[in-house]
């Protein structure tokens, strides 16, 4: 089935650690996105990529890094510089990055700092 796969679903991070969230899509979409969602809040854009080997910072990129080496993969690393990383992380994709394109979401990953 076509879709977006995020892993792991639940992840625990110790203080000072970097962790990487995986996102893979088999929809052949050019554009991919990472959003952060805090409880009772909307989504905030962390990074987005409109094409392979290119990505742009979103509204809250500090403390995060991404790569886009393959069309189908867009991993997000939460670095130790992110002081409040506990949140629900959503990966998404669209056919292209222009306006009016439907965004398809993965099932999300819960990250908790312990």
Partner 1 sequence: SQQGEEDPQALSIQEGENATMNCSYKTSINNLQWYRQNSGRGLVHLILIRSNEREKHSGRLRVTLDTSKKSSSLLITASRAADTASYFCATDAIGSSNYKLTFGKGTLLTVNP
Contact set with partner 1 (CB under 8 A) = 4, 31, 33, 35, 40-45, 48, 50, 56, 58, 88, 90, 92, 97-108, 110
Smallest distance, Å, CB 50 to partner 1?
Answer: 8
Are the CB atoms for 104 and 4 separated by under 8 Å?
Answer: yes
Nearer of residues 16 and 42 to partner 1, judged by Cβ: 42
**C-alpha–C-alpha distance, residues 99 and 90, integer Å:** 20
Q: What is the DSSP letter of 22?
A: E
Q: What is the DSSP letter of 110?
A: E
Smallest distance, Å, CB 80 to partner 1?
Answer: 26
CA distance readout (Å), 39 to 42, 43, 47: 8, 10, 20
Nearer of residues 57 and 70 to partner 1, judged by Cβ: 57
Nearer of residues 14 and 102 to partner 1, judged by Cβ: 102
Smallest distance, Å, CB 40 to partner 1?
Answer: 7
Contacts of 30 (CB under 8 A, 6+ apart): 50, 51, 71, 94, 95, 96, 97
Smallest distance, Å, CB 100 to partner 1?
Answer: 5
């Amino acid at each position: 089935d076509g879709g977006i796969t995020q892993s792991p679903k639940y992840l625990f991070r110790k203080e000072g650690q970097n962790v990487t969230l995986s996102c893979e899509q088999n929809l052949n979409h050019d554009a991919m996105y990472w959003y952060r969602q805090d409880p009772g809040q909307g989504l905030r854009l962390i990074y987005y990529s409109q094409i392979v080997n290119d990505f742009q910072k979103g509204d809250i990129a500090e403390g995060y890094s991404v790569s886009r080496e393959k069309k189908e993969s867009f991993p997000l690393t939460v670095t130790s510089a992110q002081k409040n990383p506990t949140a629900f992380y959503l990966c998404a994709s669209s056919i292209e990055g222009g306006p009016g394109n439907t965004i398809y979401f993965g099932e999300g990953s819960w990250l908790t700092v312990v």
